[in-house]
């Protein structure tokens, strides 16, 4: 959290403890701040946030992961959908402090390090399932959860399962097709759609490191994908996360 | 649309949670799934000074299926219950209702108990709790009590919980093996709150294929979910050729819909009757909810 | 020769970044900008008595608060009237911040700047505004009555009154064997892109340079407006529309108050400032469209031939009229559709109401117009007991009758003249596609099972590619990469792909070697904007012209270097090479280097281009009098008038006899936008339009109460369709009737899908239930009451 977000002169929160601020403030302006540790796309991120900081703003503006979009901030449009311990949720209806200790996967956490698109992403491209692209990350994340739940959906099931996301551009025709195509491709490989794509290029980076990082992605941590994920990678490797907020109190790496 | 300032506490035990609520002195709010509360915060229609986040409280995430009931803890998500095979086998009406609750992504996070104590008259689960004669167990720092479904819902969006009380579980009593259920509703869009809907329970004599009793609770057309007994109108009728005219007429008299931007009161009253007739036929014949 | 890309449904170049979270939307661009929140009017009509900011000063992260009184004089003037018109006799536009009076819920009153949006909202909440209430004018009829006025100083609520006539409509109607008159209503809706409005200003005080990012359809116009209002040189202001999350018309409006306030705040505060509109704000402060009350009188003969039409309508333009009369003029003209109507009179009044202003929303007056004309056709058919397609067929303009001059003036001030089309073939194709001739049997069989099926069709003609112009710039880099720029912006139309297809064909390069930049005023400062289905037509042709300039120059350079006649050269595989001798040629990258005589060699390729490397004529200058360095070209496309696309839709619906709920069974589209650059993208545009049309016909409306409060200002209650509400499967057939007006023979496709929706659904529902449907959109509740009132056969006892 940038100090910009805090009342001036505030010492910041103590890790692990809530910290109330602003004893001189009117009662309705008093808020607490909290140290949080969240595994985001396989990497442990630490930050100090006000209690009211929405997960969507935390991801976008504190961690620089701007692929998670905000379309309504009342939970209807689905643009901000991310995976929380493997389950698709609205980031605008969660508080950053509420995901302390949990694992979040965003749209930035799907493609392989060598640039290979995740099968759901690839299917959206192949089927022209996106136009302006604003709703797209939410649809892709919802599809990953949906296909983990139902690997061989009918078109009717796709429509029901994907019905919580709004798109204003496509009329949904090609989104339905994309989810159908993704299902077929995922069925061939048996990949858990909530996990980062492994990539095609065996020579990309250090294979061992890459595999280690893959293994630490939240969704491969448990067979159900619903339980708390393991710790993020304790090593150096930066995945493709955004730059974070310059001058912010966001940390990363070993907790 | 950003929440107003508040303090957040994350108790680990029920005792800590209810202590925090007591200390909030009426200005605390319980945060569980947050699928109704956080939109209200974002729109600044609610401004608690303390949010008591019970997601980390141990012992509240269980689903227990007993001989008598399905008992659901305060942090059980809609999806958890929807996917729970034993709960579905014990009480099919739960899943029949849950599939109508918003969209899958909302159900991933929203809680069953939260939607009960939110007391939205357009929500499905309060109607189910009333239909089954269930109850909610609540705890405060100095007290612990059980609130029957009919006493829980006071007015639209108003339950009988005190601000210092935490609902720790909901108990949905099981039905007799000869009682079938169905849920029908019509919403403007799939997943929206229904313009009108109904949960029904039909007691059947399966040997004779006749109805022996029936009850209904409506969704979205009454201020609070209210049980309507339709046994007088339906008992003795054949399961496959129900005449629901009298039951529908009774039900339409028993409800009190209002106009809103999506539908008139008269249409809702009409629609409630249509949904009732269809749900009764579903339950009487064992047809799955369409 | 490389396979021609024009006409291929190639996958989009823009997808990767958008699929991986690497898109750049305005709110993605800054994380430490100070943020703006706006105090907006909670009342539809009121005078501002007092503004008290005292309590807001307690907010720790507050930076600044500005009211109208705090603004410099140049910002205290009303915002511009963008498109004046002689008939617009009483124009009123809004102030960037209210000057003593508010005229709609949501009007901006106070700007708050704080370190975060959270804090800005805290401060905004604590500002107290005292109001003196005035009577609100809500609804078209209230506005027309004139007993209450939106703008006190005016005599009534009429901003404009316009009559156009061809032939003698009165006489033609009076002389007709049959006449009919009726009223048709269309309610308000709105574009509602998923990305709300946003503007972000970076002020470089040292350089005196303002860089503005806006989620806009018209970045060069935003730049011009901001520079003008802030009294800055244009060269000191740049505006970029980065990735834009949908526009659909609402983002053509400019400058929004925030587009002026935010850059101004950045300059006075000396810090980056941004405004990201939230969804509630979008509903009450971003513009709406569609609301019209329309009266028609028609005369026709026994065959259904239309002899004369008198069309009178009232247009609700809301509290202000910044965009002029574009929408009602489009309704006035495009009403005529594909039909040969010679005696026609149209009259409209554009009315003030205390609601959000109205500017074009995808379709822009056409959905209302098509609703009017196509309902008229259906009513004539019903009156004469004829098939609805027969009545249409007899009135269609025939393929050999183009250009068809109506004698009216279109929205661009140019003649309303259709350039090309084949409407009878469209109708035949649509009938086949939807199974029109077999439908009566299908309907009867369904009715025997107690099911209510209905079919409807509607036709439209859409003026696309309106002027004045767009430009294209094409540059071949010494790397061989081809850089293309045009000034209008994209909101998902795939411009980066289709423009690259055009250039790749002209220059014989790989699609991956072409990079297209749109919406950046520093790359192409002369531009108009993305609206009126014009981007492909205008920028597509401009880029094609510019690419041809590059081609000509490359041909000349290659011809000279290879000493080969240009007629013997071809462009393929990134080379200019001799036809039939593919090994003899020069790569474009080499020609790019050679085109720029160099003094300094920075690599081996460049060494070949230095003054000492090439055996040039020492008596000629290195760059000739009629030449310029570089392998690049700029050109502009400016048509005399619009090109007219067309299409026809049909839908089959089922109405639940008990609930009156409408289910869509089949949807069919025949679409003619001339030559297709990328059929996949065009189909996507049509799909999206149809989806939006389903929303407009069956779900979406702006529910204002009598106090001017918008009761459904959220996605909970403004019922944008989900996947479950749009039919699974839209059958599309393309007809390609090239436009003779532009080199590529193309017509616009962006809006088409949404235009016939109200008409086609009304027709189908009417066919299913047998009662007139004269107002759209329609909900199950409304249909239920219509059926009750008509005593139509319906189960009322709830029996399934």
Together in a domain, A198 and A135: yes
Domain end residue (candidates: C585, C611, C637): C637
Rounded to the nearest 10 degrees, how much is the dihedral formed by the CA atoms of A108, A110, A111, A114?
90
Q: What percent of chain B has pLDDT over 70?
A: 99
How many structural domains comprise chain A? Answer: 2
Together in a domain, A79 and A174: no
Q: Which one, of C770, C761, C768, C678, lies nearest residue C721 by Cα?
A: C761
Q: Which comes out higher in pLDDT, residue C252 or A198? A: C252
Together in a domain, C539 and C516: yes
Condensed to tens digits (0 to 9), the pLDDT of residues C543-589 reads 999 999 999 999 999 998 899 999 999 999 999 999 999 889 999 99
φ and ψ at residue C395, rounded to 5 degrees:
-100, -5
Is A244 inside any structural domain?
A: no
Together in a domain, A211 and A169: yes
How many structural domains comprise chain C? Answer: 2
A61 close to C (CB below 8 A):
yes
Cα–Cα dist C488/C241, whole Å: 9
Q: How many beta-carbon pairs below 8 A join chains B and C? A: 85
Together in a domain, A125 and A214: yes
Q: What pLDDT shows up at residue C618?
A: 79
Together in a domain, A209 and A115: yes
Q: Is residue C602 pLDDT above 50, yes or no?
A: yes
Q: What pLDDT shows up at residue A216?
A: 36
Q: Which one, of C275, C366, C286, lies nearest residue C318 by Cα?
A: C286
Together in a domain, C731 and C697: yes
Is C765 inside any structural domain?
A: yes
Question: Is the four-CA dihedral A250, A252, B2, B3 of positive or negative sign?
Answer: negative
Q: What pLDDT shows up at residue B288?
A: 52
Beta bridge partners of C350: C160, C315
φ and ψ at residue C545, rounded to 5 degrees:
-65, -45
Is C188 inside any structural domain?
A: no
Is A228 inside any structural domain?
A: no
Q: Which domains does chain B have, with CATH numbers?
A: 7-56 (3.30.43.10), 63-173 (3.30.465.10), 180-285 (3.30.390.50)
Token couple for C53? 């900011």
Together in a domain, A47 and A84: yes
Together in a domain, C454 and C571: no
Q: What pLDDT shows up at residue C605?
A: 79
Beta bridge partners of C667: C651
B187 close to A (CB below 8 A):
no
Domain harbouring C706, CATH code = 3.30.365.10
Is residue C630 left, alpha or beta, with left meaning phi > 0 and alpha meaning psi from -120 to 50? Answer: left
Cα–Cα dist B263/B50, whole Å: 37
Rounded to a whole number, what is the distance in Å from the CA of B256 to chain C's nearest CA? 17
Together in a domain, A71 and A21: yes
Beta bridge partners of C587: C575
Is C267 inside any structural domain?
A: no
DSSP A126: H
Together in a domain, A74 and A39: yes
Q: Using CB atoms, pick whichever of C58, C195, C680 lies closest to residue A25.
A: C58
Q: How many CA atoms lie within 13 A of B156 on its CB side?
A: 10
Together in a domain, C591 and C712: no
Distances, alpha carbon C137 to alpha carbons C40, C42, C292, in Å = 19, 15, 15
Q: How far is CA B183 from the centre of its chain?
A: 12
Cβ pair B188:C125 closer than 8 A: no
Is A225 inside any structural domain?
A: no
Together in a domain, C298 and C443: yes
Q: Is residue A92 pLDDT above 90, yes or no?
A: yes
Q: Is residue C610 pLDDT above 80, yes or no?
A: no
Domain end residue (candidates: C590, C605, C637): C637
Together in a domain, A194 and A153: yes
> Which residues of chain B are within 8 Å of residue A79 when distances are taken between CB atoms?
none
Nearest CA in chain A to C62: A7
Is A248 inside any structural domain?
A: no
Q: What is the arrangement of strands in the sheet containing C775-776, beginning at the earlier edge strand? A: C158-166, C344-352, C306-318, C292-300, C178-186, C775-776
What are chain C's partners, defined as 3 or more CB pairs within 8 angstroms? A, B
Distances, alpha carbon C398 to alpha carbons C306, C407, C410, C643, in Å = 15, 18, 21, 17
Condensed to tens digits (0 to 9), the pLDDT of residues C348-390 reads 999 999 999 999 999 999 999 999 999 999 999 999 999 999 9
Together in a domain, C599 and C665: no
Condensed to tens digits (0 to 9), the pLDDT of residues C263-274 reads 999 999 999 999
Together in a domain, A103 and A165: no
Together in a domain, C322 and C456: yes
Together in a domain, A73 and A130: no
Together in a domain, C457 and C487: no
H helices present in C211-365, as ranges: 219-229, 257-269, 279-285, 326-334
Domain end residue (candidates: C608, C637, C666): C637
Q: What percent of chain A has pLDDT over 70?
A: 69
Domain harbouring A149, CATH code = 1.10.150.120
Is C624 inside any structural domain?
A: yes
Token couple for C344? 């026609």
Nearest CA in chain A to B4: A52
What are chain A's partners, defined as 3 or more CB pairs within 8 angstroms? B, C
Q: What pLDDT shows up at residue C566?
A: 94
Contact C768, C452 (CB under 8 A): yes
Q: What pLDDT shows up at residue C624?
A: 84
Condensed to tens digits (0 to 9), the pLDDT of residues C5-49 reads 999 999 999 999 999 999 999 999 988 999 999 999 999 999 999
Q: Is residue A13 pLDDT above 90, yes or no?
A: no
Q: What pLDDT shows up at residue C630?
A: 93
Contact A75, B109 (CB under 8 A): no
> Which residues of chain B are within 8 Å of residue C717 when distances are taken between CB atoms?
261-262
Q: How many beta-carbon pairs below 8 A join chains A and C? A: 216
Condensed to tens digits (0 to 9), the pLDDT of residues C397-417 reads 999 999 999 999 998 889 999
Q: How many residues in chain A?
A: 255
Q: Using CB atoms, pick whichever of A29, A93, A145 lies closest to residue B39.
A: A93
> Which residues of chain A are within 8 Å of residue B47 when distances are taken between CB atoms?
28
Q: Is residue B73 pLDDT above 70, yes or no?
A: yes
> Which residues of chain A are within 8 Å of residue C676 when distances are taken between CB atoms?
none
Nearest CA in chain B to C777: B262
Calculate mean pLDDT across residues C711-734.
96
H helices present in A106-255, as ranges: 119-126, 136-149, 155-161, 173-189, 207-215
Q: What pLDDT shows up at residue B290?
A: 40
Q: What pLDDT shows up at residue C625?
A: 83
Rounded to a whole number, what is the distance in Å from the CA of A230 to chain C's nearest CA? 24
Cβ pair A29:C714 closer than 8 A: no
Is A63 inside any structural domain?
A: yes
Nearest CA in chain A to B9: A18
Among A52-56, A186-190, B183-187, C106-110, which stretch is predicted with the lowest mean pLDDT?
A186-190
Cα–Cα dist C478/C590, whole Å: 7
Is A233 inside any structural domain?
A: no
Question: Is the four-CA dihedral C578, C580, C581, C586 of positive or negative sign?
Answer: positive
Token couple for A48? 């100090």
Question: CA end-to-end span of chain C, whole Å?
Answer: 65
Q: Is residue C791 pLDDT above 90, yes or no?
A: no
Q: What pLDDT shows up at residue B206?
A: 87
Cα–Cα dist A12/A15, whole Å: 9
Together in a domain, C327 and C462: yes
Cα–Cα dist C75/C260, whole Å: 8
Together in a domain, C297 and C362: yes
Cα–Cα dist C688/C708, whole Å: 31
Calculate mean pLDDT across residues C465-478.
94
Is C212 inside any structural domain?
A: no
Together in a domain, C554 and C690: no
What are chain B's partners, defined as 3 or more CB pairs within 8 angstroms? A, C
Condensed to tens digits (0 to 9), the pLDDT of residues A194-251 reads 999 988 765 543 333 333 333 333 333 333 333 333 333 333 223 334 333 333 345 5
B235 close to A (CB below 8 A):
no
Together in a domain, C550 and C587: yes
Domain harbouring A37, CATH code = 3.10.20.30
Q: What pLDDT shows up at residue A201?
A: 62
Domain end residue (candidates: A86, A109, A132): A109
- What is the domain range of residue A57? 3-109
Question: Is the four-CA dihedral C7, C8, C13, C16 of positive or negative sign?
Answer: positive
Q: Is residue C117 pLDDT above 50, yes or no?
A: yes
Domain end residue (candidates: A109, A136, A168): A109
B264 close to C (CB below 8 A):
yes
Is C355 inside any structural domain?
A: yes
Does ipTM exceed 0.90?
yes
Is A81 inside any structural domain?
A: yes
Q: What pLDDT shows up at residue C21?
A: 97
- What is the domain range of residue C303? 292-466+640-789
Is C55 inside any structural domain?
A: no
Together in a domain, A13 and A40: yes
Cα–Cα dist A37/A99, whole Å: 8
Contact B284, B205 (CB under 8 A): no
Give the pLDDT band (50/70/90) at residue C461: very high
Q: Which one, of C506, C486, C504, C508, lies nearest residue C495 by Cα?
A: C486
B263 close to C (CB below 8 A):
yes
Q: What pLDDT shows up at residue A22?
A: 54
Q: What percent of chain C has pLDDT over 90?
A: 91
Helix, strand, coil % (nearest 5) of chain B? 35, 30, 40
Calculate mean pLDDT across residues C428-443.
98
Write down the mean pLDDT value for chain C: 95
Q: Is residue C603 pLDDT above 70, yes or no?
A: yes
Calculate mean pLDDT across residues B114-142.
97
Give the pLDDT band (50/70/90) at residue B159: very high
Q: What pLDDT shows up at residue C626?
A: 85
Rounded to a whole number, what is the distance in Å from the CA of C392 to chain A's nearest CA? 28
Cβ pair C14:A133 closer than 8 A: yes
Cα–Cα dist A102/A218, whole Å: 9
Token couple for C355? 């609601």
Q: What pLDDT shows up at residue A21?
A: 58
> Which residues of chain B are within 8 Å of residue A149 when distances are taken between CB atoms?
104
């Amino acid at each position: 959290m940038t100090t910009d977000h805090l009342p001036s002169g505030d010492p910041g929160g103590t890790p692990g403890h809530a910290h109330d601020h602003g004893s001189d403030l009117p009662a309705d302006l008093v808020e607490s701040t909290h140290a949080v540790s969240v595994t985001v796309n396989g990497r442990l991120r630490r930050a100090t946030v006000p209690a009211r900081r929405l997960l969507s703003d935390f991801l976008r503006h504190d961690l620089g992961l701007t692929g998670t979009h905000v379309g309504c901030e009342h939970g209807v449009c689905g643009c901000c959908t991310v995976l929380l311990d493997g389950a698709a949720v609205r980031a605008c209806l969660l508080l950053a402090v509420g995901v302390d200790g949990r694992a979040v996967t965003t749209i930035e956490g799907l493609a392989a390090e060598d640039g290979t698109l995740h099968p759901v992403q690839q299917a959206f491209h192949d089927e022209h399932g996106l136009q302006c692209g604003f709703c797209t990350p939410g649809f892709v994340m919802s599809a990953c959860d949906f296909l983990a739940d139902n690997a061989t959906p009918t078109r009717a099931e796709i429509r029901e399962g994907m019905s919580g996301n709004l798109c204003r551009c496509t009329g949904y025709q090609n989104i339905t097709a994309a989810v159908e195509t993704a299902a077929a491709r995922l069925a061939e490989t048996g990949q858990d759609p909530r996990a980062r794509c492994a990539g095609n290029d065996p020579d990309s980076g250090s294979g061992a490191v890459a595999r280690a990082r893959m293994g630490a992605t939240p969704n491969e941590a448990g067979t159900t994908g619903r339980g708390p994920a393991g710790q993020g990678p304790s090593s150096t490797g930066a995945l493709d996360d955004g730059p974070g907020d310059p001058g912010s109190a966001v940390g990363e790496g070993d907790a | 649309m950003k929440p107003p300032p508040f303090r957040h506490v994350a108790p680990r035990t029920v005792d800590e949670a209810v202590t925090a609520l007591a200390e909030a002195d009426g200005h605390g709010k319980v945060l569980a799934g947050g699928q109704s509360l956080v939109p209200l915060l974002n729109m600044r229609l609610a401004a608690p000074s303390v949010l008591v986040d019970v997601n980390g409280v141990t012992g509240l995430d269980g689903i227990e299926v007993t001989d008598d009931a399905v008992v659901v803890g305060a942090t059980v998500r809609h999806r958890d219950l929807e996917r729970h095979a034993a709960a579905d086998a014990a009480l099919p009406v739960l899943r029949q209702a849950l599939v109508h609750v918003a969209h899958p992504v909302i159900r991933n996070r929203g809680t069953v108990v939260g939607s009960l104590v939110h007391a939205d008259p357009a929500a499905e689960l309060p109607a189910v709790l009333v239909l089954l004669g269930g109850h909610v167990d609540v705890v405060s720092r100095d007290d612990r009590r059980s609130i029957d479904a009919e006493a829980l819902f006071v007015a639209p969006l108003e339950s009988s919980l005190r601000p210092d009380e935490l609902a720790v579980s909901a108990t949905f009593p099981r039905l007799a093996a000869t009682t079938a259920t169905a849920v029908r509703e019509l919403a403007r869009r799939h997943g929206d709150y229904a313009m009108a809907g109904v949960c029904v329970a039909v007691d059947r004599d399966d040997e004779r294929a006749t109805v022996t009793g029936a009850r209904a609770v409506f969704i979205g057309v009454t201020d609070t979910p209210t049980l309507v007994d339709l046994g007088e109108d339906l008992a003795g009728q054949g399961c496959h050729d129900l005449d629901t005219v009298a039951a529908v007429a009774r039900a339409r008299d028993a409800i009190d819909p209002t106009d809103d931007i999506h539908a008139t009161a008269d249409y809702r009253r009409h629609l409630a009757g249509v949904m009732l007739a269809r749900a009764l036929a579903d339950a009487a014949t064992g047809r799955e909810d369409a | 020769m490389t396979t021609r890309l024009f006409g291929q449904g190639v996958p989009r170049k823009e997808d990767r970044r958008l699929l991986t979270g690497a898109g750049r939307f305005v709110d993605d661009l800054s994380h430490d900008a100070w943020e703006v929140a706006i105090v907006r009017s909670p009342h539809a009509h009121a005078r501002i008595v007092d503004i008290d900011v005292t309590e807001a000063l307690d907010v720790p992260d507050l930076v600044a608060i500005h009211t109208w009184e705090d603004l410099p004089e140049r910002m205290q003037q009303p915002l511009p009237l963008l498109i004046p018109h002689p008939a617009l006799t009483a124009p009123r536009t809004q102030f960037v911040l209210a000057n003593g009076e508010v005229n709609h819920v949501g009007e901006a009153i106070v700007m708050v700047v704080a370190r975060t949006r959270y804090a800005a909202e805290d401060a905004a909440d604590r500002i107290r505004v005292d109001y003196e209430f005035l009577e609100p004018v809500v609804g078209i009829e209230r506005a027309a009555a004139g007993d209450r006025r939106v703008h006190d100083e005016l005599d009534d609520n009429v901003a404009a009154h316009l009559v156009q006539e061809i032939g003698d409509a009165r006489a033609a109607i009076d002389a007709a064997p049959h006449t009919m008159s009726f009223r048709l209503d269309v309610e308000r809706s709105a574009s509602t892109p998923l990305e709300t409005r946003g503007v972000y200003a970076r002020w470089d005080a040292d350089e005196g340079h303002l860089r503005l990012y806006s989620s806009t359809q018209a970045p060069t116009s935003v730049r011009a407006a901001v520079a003008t209002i802030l009294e800055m040189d244009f060269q000191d202001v740049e505006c970029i529309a980065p990735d834009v999350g949908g526009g659909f018309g609402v983002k053509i409006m400019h400058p929004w108050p925030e587009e002026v306030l935010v850059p101004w705040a950045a300059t006075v505060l000396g810090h980056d400032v941004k405004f990201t509109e939230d969804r509630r704000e979008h509903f009450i402060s971003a513009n709406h469209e569609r609301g019209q009350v329309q009266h028609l009188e028609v005369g026709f003969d026994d065959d259904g031939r239309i002899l004369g039409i008198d069309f009178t309508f009232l247009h609700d333009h809301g509290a202000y009229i910044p965009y002029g009369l574009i929408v009602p003029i489009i309704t006035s003209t495009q009403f005529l559709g594909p039909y040969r109507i010679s005696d026609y009179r149209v009259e409209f009044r554009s009315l003030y109401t205390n609601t959000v202003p109205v500017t074009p929303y995808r379709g822009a007056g056409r959905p209302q117009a098509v609703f009017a004309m196509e309902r008229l056709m259906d009513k004539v058919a019903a009156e004469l007991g004829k098939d609805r397609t027969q009545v249409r067929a007899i009135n269609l303009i025939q393929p050999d009758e183009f250009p068809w001059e109506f004698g009216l003036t279109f929205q661009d001030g140019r003649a309303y003249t259709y350039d090309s089309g084949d409407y009878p073939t469209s109708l035949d194709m649509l009938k086949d596609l939807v199974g029109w001739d077999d439908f009566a049997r299908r309907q009867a069989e369904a009715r025997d099972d107690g099911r209510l099926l209905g079919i409807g069709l509607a036709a439209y003609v859409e003026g696309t590619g309106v002027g004045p112009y767009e430009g294209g710039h094409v540059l071949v880099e010494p790397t061989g990469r081809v850089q293309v720029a045009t000034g209008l912006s994209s909101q998902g139309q795939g411009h980066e792909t289709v423009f690259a297809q055009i250039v790749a064909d002209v220059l014989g390069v790989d699609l991956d070697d072409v990079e297209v930049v749109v919406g950046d005023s520093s790359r192409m400062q002369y531009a108009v904007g993305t609206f009126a289905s014009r981007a492909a037509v205008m920028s597509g042709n401009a880029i094609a012209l510019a690419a041809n300039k590059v081609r000509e120059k490359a041909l000349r350079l290659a011809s000279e270097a290879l000493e080969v006649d240009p007629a013997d050269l071809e462009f393929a595989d990134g080379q200019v090479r001799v036809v039939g001798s593919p090994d003899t040629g020069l790569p474009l990258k080499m020609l790019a280097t050679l085109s720029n005589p160099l003094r300094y060699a920075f690599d081996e390729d460049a060494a070949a281009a230095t003054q000492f490397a090439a055996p040039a004529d020492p008596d000629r200058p290195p760059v000739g009098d009629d030449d310029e360095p570089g392998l690049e070209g700029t050109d502009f496309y400016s048509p005399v008038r619009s090109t007219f696309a067309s299409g026809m839709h049909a839908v089959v619906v089922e109405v639940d006899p008990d609930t009156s709920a409408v289910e869509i069974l089949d949807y069919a589209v025949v679409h003619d936008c001339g030559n297709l650059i990328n059929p996949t993208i065009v189909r996507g545009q049509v799909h999206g339009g149809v989806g939006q049309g389903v929303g407009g016909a069956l779900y979406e409306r702006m529910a204002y109460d009598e106090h001017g409060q918008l009761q459904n200002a959220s996605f909970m209650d403004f019922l944008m369709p989900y996947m479950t509400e749009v039919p699974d499967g839209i059958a599309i057939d393309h007809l390609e009737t090239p436009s003779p007006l532009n080199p590529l023979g193309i017509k616009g496709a962006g809006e088409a899908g949404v235009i016939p929706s109200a008409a086609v659904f009304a027709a189908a529902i009417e066919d299913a239930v047998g009662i007139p449907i004269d107002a759209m959109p329609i909900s199950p509740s409304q249909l239920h009451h219509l059926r009750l009132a008509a005593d139509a056969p319906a189960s009322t006892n709830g029996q399934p």
